[in-house]
Amino acid sequence: PPVHKSNLVNRSFRRVLERAGLPRIRFHDLRHSAATLLLKEEINPKVVQMILGHSSVSTTLDIYCHVLPSMIEDVPKTMDKLLAA
pLDDT at 85 (0 to 100): 67
pLDDT at residue 62 is higher than 70: yes
**Residue 67 · residue 40 · CB < 8 Å:** yes
pLDDT at residue 1 is higher than 70: no
pLDDT at residue 44 is higher than 90: yes
Q: Please state whether the predicted TM-score (pTM) of the whole model is above 0.75.
A: no
> Computed over its alpha carbons, how large is the radius of gyration of the chain?
18
- The pLDDT tens digits for 66-80 are 887 777 788 888 899
Buried b (16+ CB within 10 A) or exposed e, 23-43: eeeeeeeeeeeebeebbeeee
